[in-house]
């Protein structure tokens, strides 16, 4: 788990870094309206998983159970080729629809905004997203087969390429049309990179034939996965959908920017979670409770280490970050009040990953659907009400309490499975609460000592950088000693 988590972490860091640099450069070089269009791209990039219909998670689980069998006639490999053809058709349809709809959305949202070549941008926009959608199947196939290093090598390589090509072009001058042309080209090459990685590992063969009858065999798992995926993605993106009705395109660009940073920190939890799921699936499949308990303890430590020091640091230092990152005072003013609610919600929501993966390993997707449906109803109603009463951005303070709704429901149902799962719940609550309390006290004291002030850049970077560095080092040292002690006991 440790080595595979590091591989995932490397891929996530490079991907998040690419998104951070490109969004910053688009805002600085192309303006807030272009950032708004790119914000729509980022929302849809997350939302297209709705179209997957549960294929990615189903193949992930099938690969985990069938690991080691590389026969071209194996069920899980034939299922993979079947999903591949379905995936191709859905991606093509989505490309056409997105290309037609995007110009209409932009015109309807802000008729005052003038963006050149909007129809060409729409075509490239849709094509880039369609190819990105098709990548999910290959990623999850490699993850389920425990080929984490291969998958993340492809992700890291193309994230670095995006930084160099797209970032370089933005620095030296380009337009939004060329940005999306490059996204389409690089996404296509990345897709072929995943196919080559699957082929090298013996899980993609030309002689393997698709078998559409297998869809019926896996439908009992796939159908509720598809349903809860739709609801879960609505929960993940509903804040932008709702907030977009209360603000301008430029404000939405600023909101998307900060929300994207929060999503980047939350995405760090996917690194250990993607390793944890097939590990937990195999442990439950073989009724190995000791391995399951060890996996939960370690994934919890990884998630807290990767997300809490960063997320809680931003909660206390958000205003300082706005001063440091944005020279444009208008953008700084729009982003300053967004950091605390978005990142505090991030710190809470990442804890839901553990019970969610356990339910999947237990083949309980219907329970996940139930929890997400309840959470979505409360989320929409309370967020709309808060924005109507308190207005934007004050109404966003409802986001952290909203993040506790799915987490509380997940932990409640997890504790009802058995005594082992009750122990999991206790660990999640106690360890996360203690870590959050310690970090909050430390950041509060550190901020009073060295807050942002008009002084040389390097001094401000040091003032902002040393608290999370010390916090991560202290918690990382604790985890390392704990892991060594536990290994010696085993």
With a cut of 80, say whether residue 196 has pLDDT above it.
yes
Helix (H), strand (E) at residue 8: helix 2-30
Among 307, 306, 296, 309, smallest CA distance to 346 is for 307
Among 441, 416, 443, 412, smallest CA distance to 429 is for 412
CA 37 to each of CA 103, 106, 146, 226: distance values in angstroms, whole numbers, following the listed order: 10, 8, 36, 28
Helix (H), strand (E) at residue 45: helix 32-47
Q: Render pLDDT for 76-124 as a digit per residue (tens, 0 to 9).
A: 888 888 988 988 898 888 888 888 888 787 776 655 555 667 778 888 8
Region of poorest pLDDT, from 39-48, 251-260, 285-294: 39-48
Global pTM value: 0.69
Q: Render pLDDT for 417-426 as a digit per residue (tens, 0 to 9).
A: 888 889 999 9
Among 332, 113, 78, 345, smallest CA distance to 207 is for 78
Q: How confident is the model at residue 436 (pLDDT cuts 50, 70, 90)?
A: very high
With a cut of 80, say whether residue 427 has pLDDT above it.
yes
CA end-to-end span of the chain: 16
Alpha carbons within 13 A on the beta-carbon side of 80: 35
- What is the maximal distance between C-alpha atoms in the chain? 67
CA of residue 338 relative to chain centroid, distance = 19
As a whole-number percent, the residues of the chain with pLDDT over 90 amount to 24
Predicted local confidence at residue 451, as pLDDT: 66
Predicted local confidence at residue 413, as pLDDT: 94
Alpha carbons within 13 A on the beta-carbon side of 309: 18
With a cut of 70, say whether residue 488 has pLDDT above it.
no
User: 39: Cβ–Cβ under 8 A, 6 or more apart, which residues?
Assistant: 240, 252, 253, 255, 256, 257, 260
Nearest 5°: the CA angle 65, 71, 75 is 50
Query: Under a CB-based contact definition with an 8 Å cutoff, are residues 11 and 159 in contact?
Result: yes
Q: How confident is the model at residue 487 (pLDDT cuts 50, 70, 90)?
A: low
Q: What is the mean pLDDT of residues 138-145?
A: 86
Q: Render pLDDT for 442-483 as a digit per residue (tens, 0 to 9).
A: 999 988 887 666 667 777 788 888 888 888 888 878 777 766
With a cut of 90, say whether residue 267 has pLDDT above it.
no
Q: How confident is the model at residue 430 (pLDDT cuts 50, 70, 90)?
A: very high
Predicted local confidence at residue 484, as pLDDT: 63
CA 455 to each of CA 323, 324, 365, 463: distance values in angstroms, whole numbers, following the listed order: 12, 11, 53, 11
Q: Of the segments 43-52, 73-82, 220-229, 389-398, which one has the largest average pLDDT value? A: 389-398
Between 43 and 438, the higher pLDDT residue: 438
Between 112 and 401, the higher pLDDT residue: 401
Q: How confident is the model at residue 400 (pLDDT cuts 50, 70, 90)?
A: very high
Environment class of 380 (CB within 10 Å of its CB; exposed 0-12, middle 13-18, buried 19+): middle
Across the chain, mean pLDDT equals 84
Q: How confident is the model at residue 489 (pLDDT cuts 50, 70, 90)?
A: low
With a cut of 80, say whether residue 27 has pLDDT above it.
no
Between 404 and 14, the higher pLDDT residue: 404
As a whole-number percent, the residues of the chain with pLDDT over 70 amount to 92
Environment class of 450 (CB within 10 Å of its CB; exposed 0-12, middle 13-18, buried 19+): middle
User: 470: Cβ–Cβ under 8 A, 6 or more apart, which residues?
Assistant: 442
Predicted local confidence at residue 302, as pLDDT: 87
Between 324 and 389, the higher pLDDT residue: 389
């Amino acid at each position: 788990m440790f080595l595979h988590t590091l591989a995932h972490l490397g891929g996530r860091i490079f991907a998040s870094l690419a998104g951070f640099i490109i969004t910053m450069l688009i805002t600085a070089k192309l303006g807030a309206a272009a950032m708004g269009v790119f914000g729509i791209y980022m929302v849809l990039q997350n939302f297209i998983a709705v179209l997957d219909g549960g294929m990615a998670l189903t193949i992930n689980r099938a690969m985990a159970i069938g690991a080691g069998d590389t026969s071209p006639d194996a069920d899980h490999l034939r299922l993979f080729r079947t999903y591949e053809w379905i995936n191709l058709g859905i991606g093509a349809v989505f490309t056409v629809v997105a290309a037609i709809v995007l110009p209409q959305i932009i015109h309807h949202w802000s008729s005052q905004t003038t963006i050149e070549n909007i129809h060409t941008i729409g075509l490239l926009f849709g094509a880039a997203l369609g190819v990105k959608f098709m990548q999910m199947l290959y990623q999850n196939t490699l993850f389920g087969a425990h080929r984490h290093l291969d998958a993340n090598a492809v992700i890291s390589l193309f994230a670095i390429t995006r930084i160099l090509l797209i970032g370089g072009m933005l620095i030296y001058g380009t337009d939004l049309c060329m940005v999306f042309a490059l996204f389409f080209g690089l996404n296509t090459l990345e897709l072929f990179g995943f196919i080559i990685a699957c082929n090298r590992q013996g899980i993609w063969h030309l002689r393997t034939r698709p078998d559409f009858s297998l869809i019926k065999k896996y439908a009992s798992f796939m159908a509720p996965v598809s349903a809860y995926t739709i609801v879960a993605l609505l929960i993940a993106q509903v804040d932008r959908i709702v907030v977009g009705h209360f603000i301008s395109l430029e404000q939405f660009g600023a909101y998307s920017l900060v929300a994207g940073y929060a999503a980047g920190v939350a995405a760090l939890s996917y690194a250990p979670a993607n390793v944890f799921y097939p590990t937990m699936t195999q442990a439950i499949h073989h009724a190995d409770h000791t391995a399951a308990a060890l996996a939960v303890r370690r994934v919890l430590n990884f998630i807290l280490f990767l997300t809490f020091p960063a997320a809680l640091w931003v909660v206390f230092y958000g205003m300082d970050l706005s001063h440091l990152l944005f020279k444009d005072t208008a953008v700084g003013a729009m982003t300053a009040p967004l950091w605390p609610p978005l990142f505090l919600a991030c710190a809470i929501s990442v804890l839901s990953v553990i019970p969610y993966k356990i339910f999947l390993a237990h083949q309980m997707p219907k329970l996940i659907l139930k929890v997400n449906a309840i959470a979505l109803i409360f989320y929409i109603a309370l967020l709309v009400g808060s924005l109507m009463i308190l207005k934007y951005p004050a109404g966003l303070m409802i986001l952290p309490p909203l993040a506790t709704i799915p987490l509380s429901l997940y932990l409640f149902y997890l504790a009802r499975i058995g005594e082992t799962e009750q122990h999991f719940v206790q660990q999640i609550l106690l360890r996360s609460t203690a870590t959050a309390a310690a970090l909050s006290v430390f950041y509060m004291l550190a901020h009073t000592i060295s807050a942002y002030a008009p002084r040389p850049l390097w001094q401000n970077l040091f003032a902002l950088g040393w608290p999370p560095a010390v916090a991560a080092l202290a918690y990382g040292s604790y985890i390392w000693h704990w892991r060594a002690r536990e290994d010696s006991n085993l």
